Amino acid sequence: MAEMIIDGTAVEFTDEKNLLEVVRKVGIELPTFCYHSELSIYGACRMCMVEIEGRGMVAACSTPPEPGLVVNTNTPKLQKNRRMILELLLANHHRDCTTCEKSGGCKLQDLAQRMGVRQVRFGHREKIVPIDYSSPAIVRDPNKCILCGDCVRVCAEVQGIGVLDFINRGSEAEVSPAFGKNLADVDCVNCGQCASVCPTGALVVRSEIEDVFKALNDPTKVVIAQIAPAVRVAIGEEFGFQPGEVAMGQMVAALKKMGFDKVFDTSFSADLTVLEETHEFLERVQKGEHLPQFTSCCPAWVKYAEQYHPQLLSQLSSCRSPQQMFGSVAKRFFTRDMNIDPKDLVVVSIMPCTAKKFEGKRPEFTVEVDGVKVPDVDSVLTTQELARMIKEYGFDFANLEPEPLDMPFGLSTGAGMIFGNSGGVAEAVLRAAEEMATGQSTGQVKFSQVRGLEGIREAEVEVAGNKVRLAVVHSLSNAKALLEKIAKGEAEYHLIEVMACPGGCIGGGGQPLPNDTGARLKRRKGLYTVDKQQPLRKSQDNPLLQNLYTKWLDKPGSEVAHNTLHTDYGTRRRITGEEISLLTNGQAKVEVSVCVGTCCYLGGSYSTLQELLRRVKEEGLGDRVDVRATFCLENCAGGPAVKVGDEILGGMDPSHVDQLLEIVKGKLK
């Protein structure tokens, strides 16, 4: 243990990685924009500057602690510089604060107030650029970006995708998706982690509140809600509760006061998912096919697989997520029980996840009524949005008299509850697998091997006398690392659970802020406590679930269950946009488009493109062939893909250029 002096007080430190952590340890909250303990050090905003005797001003976030340092955190010079930085940021910031989505929770607004910035001596932002409303999950307003880089780093480092980055230089610098595209046109998986770390209103959750208000005020509609497991241990944070405190009763009361006709629990359909997914898993193990089985509850992970690993789609569980299973059951069966036209039933999901907004709009998840396709889930509200609705109604949330969930979808087991934690799906499947395989229960309900917050966890358990190897992963960068390990033959599993957000759904992009490790740990503990308190802890023991099978679904894996509760996925284009003409004189007779998207590029399509260009020139075909590069031909599994005229050819790596050229020549005849 070493010692330094901070503001005249001796302070001991041990393994803190920078001065900022030491300063905060003693209760001094140095301001920051670009610092996150879970991300790499960036040191761009300079708000955390301190003065070190003999060295002058340094950024505390990027300066390691040393014994004997004499540090001052609030000298007149530092205060002046911080105010100046804030003024400059505000001058380049679109200051429509009163109507901003982040008003009241904006870090820039908060620090300006805290630092006493009452006026901005510089001009207003001159250039106002369009707001990007293309994504179903996130709204991006570049006019409010302060270039802190938090979104850039979380997307690259936590999710391993990197759809946002810095472009241009100097005063023209900005954060943008690739090629200046909208978020919906690039590889964004809608996880919302960028919005979780954005300190301003530059990235916010796309709101569906108005759609829900409209439905609630329509007397012809029956409006029901389903509440995801992770919401109950987080919603209270918006009203003074500690993270992890369960506020389910107050939430149900608030929803019913708003006018919701019924309030149900997504944990019920999580129990349903467990039975279907376990049945599917046991079948695959028995046949030795399509293993390892990947979970499919996380829509961000599913989209990631569709974009980057289409060759693995047959190994994804065909089960819909609990959200979509609930919507399907509600629109197909609950409407019959209640004698309601499916078009008049509005299903609203309360979710911790922004990607659920994207999932709810997938064309696969609809029911056809009188020739019209009706979505299984009509609207998705995040925890943040529900909190705003409660505040708009003026409810005293903490003092609401708790109300119970409604039946028949209000009873769930502990297995359904823990779906909100990373490892929860795997553990719930393990609780069911032995009994479903042998007809006998071991009584075991806790599988500590799959619990924890490590990014990649491995376990080996015995199920029906067989060794089953599992992996549990959260954050897509960890998923990428695990998939690379499997591809190299360094690991082998039977079941892999993947969740895109840190910690699982408890860390979803729609959860209350701050959405950091401390909050996630408490939410995680809250869900495991709820599980422990449940009288029923295995999905197969849920009597209302058994009734659902008896009345409508027959048994897990039946034809009607498969049609209602399962789906399949396909490869997905990663980026849209113009083709780039590389060789043409304006009189081309045959168009040849070579895909240079991610999968095809990794398969050698760029070399194919170069060799094809060379051969076309060499053979004097430049006046008759138009060679182009394109970003996706939606043939990822069979890439590298090349389109000749209207025909898409697969497997066109550099060794097939001769064959490709012959096909082109054939088109010219």
- Of 100, 191, 198, 505, the catalytic one is 505
Active site (annotated) includes residue 317: yes
Residue in this structure with the two tokens 């089960």, named with its chain if needed: 319
- Of 208, 276, 277, 434, the catalytic one is 277
pLDDT above 60 for 537: yes
**Residues 166 and 151 sit within 8 Å (Cβ to Cβ):** no
Average pLDDT, the chain: 92
- Of 135, 317, 318, 412, the catalytic one is 317
Angle made by CA atoms 466, 471, 472, in degrees to the nearest 5: 135
204-212 mean pLDDT: 97
For 600, how many CA atoms within 13 A lie in the half-sphere containing its CB?
A: 34
- Of 356, 357, 538, 643, the catalytic one is 356
- Locate CATH 3.40.30.10 in the chain: 580-668
User: What is the distance between the alpha carbons of residues 646 and 434, in angstroms, rounded to a whole number?
Assistant: 52
User: What is the distance between the alpha carbons of residues 118 and 503, in angstroms, rounded to a whole number?
Assistant: 40
Active site (annotated) includes residue 210: no
User: What is the distance between the alpha carbons of residues 23 and 29, in angstroms, rounded to a whole number?
Assistant: 7
Share of the chain above pLDDT 70, in %: 98
Summarised one tens digit per residue, pLDDT across range 252-304 is 999 999 999 999 999 999 999 999 999 999 999 999 999 999 999 999 999 99
Report pLDDT for 579: 52
- Of 276, 359, 497, 611, the catalytic one is 359
- Locate CATH 3.40.50.1780 in the chain: 210-565
| Domain 2-74 -> CATH class | alpha beta
Dihedral of CA atoms 488, 491, 493, 498 in degrees, nearest 10, equals -80
**Residues 498 and 425 sit within 8 Å (Cβ to Cβ):** no
Q: What is the DSSP string of 60-81?
A: GGGS---TT-EEES--HHHHHH
Summarised one tens digit per residue, pLDDT across range 512-523 is 999 999 999 999
Bridge partners of 346? 223
pLDDT above 70 for 582: no
Share of the chain above pLDDT 90, in %: 75
Q: Which two tokens stand for residue 405?
A: 């969930």
Helix runs in 92-153, H state only: 107-114, 150-153
pLDDT above 90 for 170: no
Report pLDDT for 589: 74
pLDDT above 70 for 78: yes
Q: 590-595 and 642-644 as β-strands: parallel, antiparallel, unpaired? A: antiparallel
- Domain 210-565 coded CATH 3.10.20.740: no
Helix runs in 400-508, H state only: 414-417, 424-438, 476-487
Helix runs in 155-234, H state only: 193-197, 209-216
User: What is the distance between the alpha carbons of residues 223 and 348, in angstroms, rounded to a whole number?
Assistant: 7
Summarised one tens digit per residue, pLDDT across range 608-634 is 998 998 888 888 887 788 888 887 887
640-661 mean pLDDT: 90
Report pLDDT for 584: 47
For residue 36, what pLDDT band results from cuts at 50, 70 and 90? Answer: confident
Active site (annotated) includes residue 155: no
- Locate CATH 3.30.70.20 in the chain: 86-205
CATH topology of domain 86-205: Alpha-Beta Plaits (3.30.70)
Summarised one tens digit per residue, pLDDT across range 430-488 is 999 989 998 888 788 889 889 998 999 999 998 888 899 999 999 999 999 999 999 99
- Locate CATH 3.10.20.740 in the chain: 2-74
Report pLDDT for 665: 87
- Of 53, 364, 460, 619, the catalytic one is 364
Active site (annotated) includes residue 599: no
Q: Whole-prediction pTM value?
A: 0.85
For residue 96, what pLDDT band results from cuts at 50, 70 and 90? Answer: confident
pLDDT above 60 for 588: no
Bridge partners of 174? 167
- Of 101, 280, 427, 434, the catalytic one is 280
Active site (annotated) includes residue 280: yes
Active site (annotated) includes residue 145: no
Report pLDDT for 586: 47
**Residues 422 and 533 sit within 8 Å (Cβ to Cβ):** no
Report pLDDT for 92: 87
User: What is the distance between the alpha carbons of residues 615 and 657, in angstroms, rounded to a whole number?
Assistant: 9
Q: Which of 201, 245, 196 is nearest to 382 (CA)?
A: 196
Active site (annotated) includes residue 356: yes
- Of 97, 155, 188, 297, the catalytic one is 297
Per CATH, the number for 580-668 is: 3.40.30.10
Active site (annotated) includes residue 38: no
